[in-house]
Chains A and B, each alone.
Chain A
Amino acid sequence: MGMICLVALVVFAVLGIFSARHRPLAKEAFRCVFRKATLRKCDTGLDSRIKTSVSGVFFKAHPKAGSFVFKHFTVISWIFTILFFASLASTAIGGYNYWMYGNCNGPGEDGFCIFDPTSSHQGFSDVSEEGCTAPDLLNSYLTMEGKNTSTFLDFSQGEQNTMVFFGCYACEYTRKAYPTLMRVADREDVGLVFAHFPVKNQSTGFSEVVNCLYKENPSLVRSFNDAVFSQPIDALDARAALDSIGAPTQDVLACAQSSDAQAYADRQFSQVEATGIYGTPTVFINGEPVVGPKPYRIYRRLLR
C-alpha cells in the first residue's frame, strides 16, 4: 500500500509548489516513501488516510463498493501507481518531443499533441494533393545527402549553417512557417537556399517567376517572397508582387513564359522531389529535415 504514497509524493510535491497547505502532506508522503524504500513500515499514517479516504468515497456510493475498494486497495494502488507513472513517462516523452521537434509524437510524426491541440506545428500540405502533377515520390526518406541541388536558389555566402527551404506560395503551412524561417535566416549565422515547390493549383507558374527573378536580381527574391506570402492564397498575383517591389516585371514575366524557364522549373521540381519531400514546408537545416511550421527553438536547436 506504500505505493500510493509514491503517487501522493508527486502530487503533493507539485501542489506544494503553489500551496503551503500541501507541503506538510508532501513531507509526510516523502517520509512514507523513504521508510518503505528502506523496508520499514510507514509511520505517518498517510497511507491509511489515503486508503480510507478513497474507500470512503465508494462507501458513500455503496457499502459493497466501499468494502471492495478497501479490501483490495493494495492491488488497486499498485495498478493506479503503474498507470500514473506510465502516463507521467508518456507525458514527459511527449513534452520532450514537443520541445525538440514541435510535435509530441516525435520528428516527422503527426497525430494529436496535447501541447499543440490545434496542430499548428504539424500541418503540412501533402505533395499528392489536388492539381499537383508530381510523379511518384522517389523515396519517403527525407535527405539532402548526395542530391543534386543545382537548380535551387542559393543565397548562402559561406555561413556556418545552411537552411534549405522548400515551400509553396499557396500552402497555408508554408505561410505559417515563413516568418519564423526568415527570422532564423536574419538572426542566425545561416545561409539560405530556397526552391519553390508548388503543391497547390494557385501557385502554378510561380516557380518560373521566382527563378527568373533570381536570375535577374537575386536580392529581390526575398522581397518577392514577402509580397507573395502576404497576398491571399486564392488571389496570388505575380505581376502585382513584382510591381510592388520595383522589379523589372515585364522582363521577369517574359522569362517565365519561356521554354527554358519551364524546363528549369521542371528540373528544379524533380530535384526537390528527389529529397523525399512529402509535404510543404520542408526545411533542411544542416541536412536535418523538419516538416511543417515549427517554433523558432526547433530550428535554432539544429544550428551549429
Chain B
Amino acid sequence: MNIREDFSYLREHPDQTYVDSACVSLKPDVVLKSMNRYYEDFPACGGGRSGHELGRKTSESFEAARRQVQKFLGAKRSSEIIFTRNTTEGINLVARSFPFEHRCVLTSDKEHNSNYIPWLRLSKQGFKHLRVSTKEGVLDMDEYKRLLEEHEVDLVAINHVSNLDGIVNQVKELARIAHRHGARILVDGAQSAGHLPVDVRKLQADFFVCSGHKMFGPSGTGVLYGKREELVRLEPFLVGGDTVEDVTPEEVVWADLPHRFEAGLQDYAGVIGFGQACDYAAKLKLKRIDAHGRKLREALQSVLEPYGRLLGSADHRSSILTLLPENIDAHELSLLLGQHGIFVRSGTFCCHSWFHKHDVPAALRFSLHAYNTDEDIERIRKVLEGPLSGVLSKK
C-alpha cells in the first residue's frame, strides 16, 4: 500500500517518518480540498438558518457528510450520528446525560483520561466506578464477567483499541456480556475507527465515539454514534441554538435527533472534511489498512525489541507499539529521534492512572497508519543502530 502521494506533507517531506498517528493522523489532499471548497465556494451558515443558496448548499454538504459517516460506521440511521469536536466530547456527553439507574459504571484499568476522568468525577458524586484489570494489556474476562454479575452496572465504557499499547478488545463479546446483565456499552473507538473495520451494529455498541483527526480527518471533529432508542433517553448536554423545535416560557420542545445534541453553529468545513476522510478510508478498505498496519507493526517490533520492553501482549496488538526504553529517558529519545526526522510520541499518553498503578516512567509510542511503509521502518532501524547507537543500550 503506497498512498504517500495522496498526502502533501509526505510529498514535501519524503525523508521524514511520521509515526504518531495515534495522536493525529496526516490529512490527504482530498480532505483538505473539500474543506477549502467550503470556504471558497459556499462559506455560509447551514442548519437551515439562512435560506439563500449558499446556506442551502452548506446544509446539504453537512448532512451529506453525516450520511458518509453513517455509512462508514455502519449505523442504521443518519440521525444516530451526532457530530462532536472529538471523542472526549462524545464521552462527556454520555457521562453527563445518560439516565443512570444504579449509578454504576465499569471501565478497564487502562483507559485514556477521556474515558476515565468523567467516571472518576461521577465516583466523587457517589457513583461506583468499577475497573477491570488487564494482564499484559489484555482484559481479564473472568473479572469482567464477575463484576457484571456482582454489581448492577448501568454502563460499560471501554476502548476498542488501546491508545496505550494497541491491544484490541473483543468488543462484540464484551457487549454481548454487558447486555446480558442489563448494561449498556459505550465503545471508545478513537484508535479503531479508520484503522480497522468498524460496524457499530455488528459490534452491538449502544454508543460509539471516535475522532476525525485520527482517521485522516481534520482536528476538531468527532462523532458520537448512539442507537436511536438510547439517544432519545439522553438529556441534551450542550443546549442553545438549533437544539430546539420551540421554546415557551414554561418548557422546551427539543429538536429531533441528531440536532438536539448539536448546539450552535457547527464546524461545517471540519465536518465536510470528516465525511471525505470516511470516504477516503473506505476507498482504501479498512481490512487492508488493518493488515498493512499489523504487518508494519511486526517489522517494527523486531527493530525495537532490543532496546527495552514493549507494552502489551504481542498476540493482540494492532498498529500501535509502545516501548519502555532501557537506560534512556523516553522524552529525550523521542527528541533525539525527532532531530533525525522520526516523529513519535513520548509520555503517558493521557493514561496517567495506568502509569501510576504500574510505577512505570514515560514510554515511547510508535503508531502506524496506512501511509507508513517499509522504508519508514528501515529508517527507524538505521537511526537506532546508527547515530543513536551510542546513547542506547540493548538488552
Q: Which residues of A contact B (CB under 8 A)?
A: 45, 48-49, 51-53, 55-56, 59, 63-64, 66-68, 70-71
Contacts and interface: CB of A to CB of B under 8 A. Distances in A.
A64 B336 contact: no
B335 A71 contact: no
B339 interface: yes
B390 A64 contact: yes
Given A52-B339, A53-B335, A55-B336, 17 more contacts: A48-B331, A51-B332, A52-B335, A56-B335, A56-B336, A56-B339, A59-B336, A59-B339, A63-B386, A63-B388, A63-B389, A63-B390, A66-B387, A68-B390, A70-B336, A70-B390, A70-B391
Interface string B325-357: 000010110011001000000000000000000
A67 B387 CA distance: 8
9 contacts: A45-B331, A52-B336, A55-B336, A55-B391, A59-B336, A67-B388, A67-B391, A70-B336, A70-B391
Contacts of B336: 52, 55-56, 59, 70
A115 B335 CA distance: 41
SS class, residues of chain A in contact with chain B: helix
A49 B335 contact: yes
Interface of B: 329, 331-332, 335-336, 339, 386-391
Given A56-B339, A59-B339, A48 B387 contact: no
Given A52-B336, A55-B336, A71 B390 contact: yes
A59 B332 CA distance: 14
A173 to B, nearest CB: 56
A8 to B, nearest CB: 16
Contacts of A63: 386-390
B339 A48 contact: no
Contacts of B335: 48-49, 52-53, 56
Contacts of B329: 48
Nearest to A65: B390
A52 B328 CA distance: 12
Contacts of A53: 335
A158 B388 CA distance: 80
Contacts of B390: 63-64, 66-68, 70-71
A49 B329 CA distance: 12
Contacts of B387: 59, 63, 66
B391 A71 contact: yes
A15 to B, nearest CB: 22
SS class, residues of chain B in contact with chain A: helix
Contacts of A70: 332, 336, 390-391
A273 B176 CA distance: 110
A180 B391 CA distance: 63
A266 B390 CA distance: 79
A63 B387 CA distance: 5
Given A56-B339, A63-B386, A48 B391 contact: no
Nearest to B329: A48
Nearest to B347: A45
A53 B332 CA distance: 10
A45 B338 CA distance: 15
A106 B390 CA distance: 49
Contacts of A64: 390
Contacts of A48: 329, 331-332, 335
Kindly name the residue among B329, B332, B389 whose own CB sees the greatest number of chain A CB atoms within 10 A: B332
A70 B387 CA distance: 12
Contacts of B332: 48, 51-52, 70
B102 to A, nearest CB: 39
A56 B336 CA distance: 7
Contacts of A49: 335
A67 B336 CA distance: 11
Contacts of B389: 63, 67
B86 to A, nearest CB: 24
A67 B389 CA distance: 8
Contacts of B339: 52, 56, 59
A67 B386 CA distance: 11
Nearest to B340: A59
A46 to B, nearest CB: 11
Nearest to A51: B332
A95 B331 CA distance: 41
Contacts of A67: 388-391
B33 to A, nearest CB: 34
A71 B387 CA distance: 13
A71 to B, nearest CB: 6
Nearest to B328: A70
A2 to B, nearest CB: 14
A49 B331 CA distance: 9
Nearest to B331: A48
Contacts of B331: 45, 48
A190 B307 CA distance: 79
A51 B388 CA distance: 14
Contacts of A56: 335-336, 339
A42 B387 CA distance: 27
A63 B386 CA distance: 8
B349 to A, nearest CB: 15
A70 B390 CA distance: 9
Contacts of B388: 63, 67
B389 to A, nearest CB: 8
A278 B335 CA distance: 62
A48 B389 CA distance: 19
A91 B174 CA distance: 70
B271 to A, nearest CB: 33
A285 B390 CA distance: 65
Contacts of A68: 390
A55 B390 CA distance: 12
A96 B391 CA distance: 45
A-B interface, 7 closest residue pairs, ranked by CB to CB distance from nearest: A67-B390, A52-B335, A63-B387, A56-B339, A48-B331, A70-B391, A48-B332
Contacts of A55: 336, 391
A51 B331 CA distance: 11
Kindly name the residue among B331, B388, B389, B390 whose own CB sees the greatest number of chain A CB atoms within 10 A: B390
A51 B391 CA distance: 13
A45 B332 CA distance: 9
A70 B337 CA distance: 13
A8 B347 CA distance: 23
A63 B391 CA distance: 10
